[in-house]
Structure 1
Amino acid sequence: MKKLILLSVLIFGFYFSYGQDVPAMRYEDKIRIREAIHISKLVGDKLWKGINEVPFVVLLVTDSVEFLINHPYPSNDFVLSEDDKILNTKILYRQKRFPDWYLATFPAVNGVNCIVVGTPEKTNKNSTNWIITLLHEHFHQYQFTSMNYYDEVNKLDLSGADETGMWQLNYAFPYDNVKTIQQFNKYTSALHKAVSNVERRSFKNDFRNYLRERTRFRKSLTPADYRYFSFQIWQEGIARYTEYKFIHELDNYIPTGEITQLKDFINFKDLKTRFYHAALNSITQSKLEIEKRICFYDIGFAEGILLDKLNPDWQKKYLTDRFYIENYFDRK
C-alpha cells in the first residue's frame, strides 16, 4: 500500500510540474521586436555598413521570466517556449535574472552581446520609442562586435581596478566642477547654435565658434577625463544619432498593420520632428551636474548632424579611428 501511495504521489508530482503552462512571450512584444528587426534589415546597412551581419539577439525581461531570441548558442539554463511563427525563430526562456527596467546591451548569455530590455510598460516607453530604442541597442551590438573593440577600450586606461565594465557608467568625471560646468555650457550653446543654423549663411562662423568652445572644453579637462568624454560621445552619442537616422529613413515606411493597431503607436514620420527638437533642446537645457553622462547622448546626436554636413563619408572612419569623433571632420 505504501508503494502505491508513493507511486501516486510521484505521478501526481510529474503531471503537476510538467502539466503547467509554458511561459510565452506576449503577442504585442513579438510584433514590436519583429518591427525593429525588419526596419534594421530594410535600412540598417544604408546607415552602417555591416550592421545586419550582427545577430539581433534580444533578452526580454518580464516580471518573472526572461525570453531569449536569435541567440546562436544559448546556455543550458534556457528551455524552449515555442517555435514562433511571428518572429520566425525559436523563443527560449528562463527564470528572471536581470531587472525588468533594463535598456542595455552586454554579453548577458554565453558571451554574446544581448539587448537586455524590459517591456515598454516597465521602461516607460510607448511602442514606437521602444522599437527605436531596440535599434539604438542593436547599434551597440554593432560597436561591441567590431574588430578589436575591447582591446581599444582597454587602451583608454579608464577602468582602474574595475574589471566589470561598470566604470563606463561610474567613472569619476568632474560633473560638479564649477569651471567644467561653465565651459561645458559655452560649448553646448555653441553646438546648439551651429546645428540650428546648419543650412544658413551664418553656419561657417557658428561652426568655427563651436570648434573653439569645444577645444576650450577639452583643455579644461585632464587627459583621462577627456578620453572618457570622447568615449561616451563616440559610443552613446553616436548611438543616439543613429536612432534619429533610423527615424529619418522611415518617412515613406509603411508599418505593419499589427503595429499600427497598438494604442500607443506613434507614426514614425511624426516622431522624427519630436525627436529632433527634443534632442537638440536638451543640449542646452540639460544640467551636467544633474544628468551627468546622459548629457553626452544628445551632444553626440548633434555632432553627428554636423559631421553629416561637413563630411558625408565620415562613417567610414568610425570603426577604424575610434573614440575621437572630431577627427572625422577631416575628409582625408
Structure 2
Amino acid sequence: MKKSILSLLIILPFVLFAQSFPTKESHRIAEIQQIAEEVKASYWPEWMEVPFIILLVDEDFEYLAGHPNPATFSQASYFDSLLNQKIYFRKRTFPKNMSASFPLIDSNPVIVMGNIMNSYFDEERWVWTLLHEHFHQFQYTREGYYQKSNELDLAKDSLDGMWPLNYSFPYENDTVDQIIEEMSGLLLKSMDGESVLPKYWEAKRQLKSVISEKDYRYFNFQIWQEGFPRFLEIDLLQHWNQTNSNENRIKLLREYREEIREDLSEPNLKDRGRLIFYSLGATEWILISSTNHQWKRGYFQHMFNSDTLLKN
C-alpha cells in the first residue's frame, strides 16, 4: 500500500503538469474540425473523412489528438472537453518547430506540428498549414500510394524515406533553370487570366527533353505531392471565404497570392531548390483546375503525374 501511494505521488505531478492541451491551439484545432464538417459535402467528402490525427509539439510535452487507441504511444491521457476526445501525452521527442506528416503511430499518418508560438506561422496560417498537412494524410491513405511511389524508382539506396527531400534533381543546370523560369513566367500570366495552356505544355515537354526520365518523374512527383496541397490551401480558403469570410482570411489569401507571384517572378532554381515546386506546382494546379473540371477525380487516377490532366 505504501509503495502504491509513493508511486502515485511520484507520477501525479507529471500527470497534473502535462495534462493541458495548449488552449490557443485547442481552439484552432476545433476550428479546423468545424471547417472540415461544414465543407465536407460541398468540397471534397473523401478528404474530410480521413482521420485528423495530430501530434502537437509543445515546450516540454507532445499531445496526441484524433487517435482512438494508440497502442504504441504513451497511455497517459485525459479527456479534452473542447475537442470532445481523449488526449494522450508524453515528454517531447520532436523539434518544437516541427511541421510535417508521415506514418508514425500504429502505421497511421500523423501530423507532427509545433505550437503556434514556435512555428513559422501566425494563427491563421497555422490553421491552413494543418489543412495542407491533412491533405498529405489523405494522400498517404489512398490505395496504391506506396506501391506506386516505389514504382517511380527514385529512392535509390535510401532506406529512411527521405528521398523526396534529398533526391539529386539538376537544380544547378542552366538549361533547366531557364526552362523553369519560362514555365514560371507563363504561370504568372495565367494568374492574370491569360490563356497559356498550349505554351505551358510545350515548355513542360521541353523540360522533359533535357532531363533524365527519373528527373522528370521526380519533377512531376513534387508537383503532385507538394504543389497540389499548396494549391488546395488557396482553393479551399476561397471556397470557405464565400460563406465564412473575415479580415484575417482575406489577408491570408492575399498573402498566398503575393508569395506565389514573388516566387514565380524570380524562381532562381539554383538557390531555392525543391522549394520552388510549391509555388510552381500550386499554380500549375490552378491552371489545371481552370481548364479541367474533373481535376479532383483525376488527381488520384493519375497519381504522381499531372500531364494527362494538363492535356485534357
TM range (shorter): over 0.9
1:311 is aligned to 292
Q: Match for 1:327: what amino acid? A: T
Match of 1:238 among 214, 224, 228: 228
Q: How far does residue 44 in structure 1 lie from its aligned partner after superposition?
A: 4.4
SS at the partner of 1:121?
A: coil
Distance 1:71 1:280 in 2: 38
Matches within 5 A, 1:31-180: 31-180=27-176
Q: How far does residue 312 in structure 1 lie from its aligned partner after superposition?
A: 1.3
Matches within 5 A, 1:177-192: 177-192=173-188
Match of 1:223 among 209, 213, 220: 213
Bigger CA drift: 314-323 or 122-131? 314-323
Q: Match for 1:220: what amino acid? A: V
Match of 1:299 among 264, 272, 280: 280
Alignment check: 8 A CA contact 1:79 1:92 kept: yes
Q: How far does residue 132 in structure 1 lie from its aligned partner after superposition?
A: 0.2
Distance 1:72 1:320 in 2: 30
SS at the partner of 1:267?
A: helix
Runs of 4+ in 1 over 6 A off after TM superposition: 7-10
1:200-228 alpha-carbon deviations (Å, 9 max, x no partner): xxx2xx33222222211221211000000
Q: How far does residue 277 in structure 1 lie from its aligned partner after superposition?
A: 2.5
1:329 is aligned to 310
**Percent same amino acid among aligned pairs?**
30
Find the structure with the greater CA-based Rg.
Answer: 1
1:135-164 alpha-carbon deviations (Å, 9 max, x no partner): 000101111100110000000000011122
Unaligned runs of at least 5 residues, structure 2: none
Match of 2:263 among 276, 282, 285: 282
Report the TM-score when normalising by structure 1.
Answer: 0.87
2:9 is aligned to 15
Unaligned runs of at least 5 residues, structure 1: 1-6, 261-265
| 1:212 counterpart = 2:202 | yes
Distance 2:8 2:292 in 1: 65
Provide the alpha-carbon RMSD of the alignment: 2.1
**Paired residue total:** 310
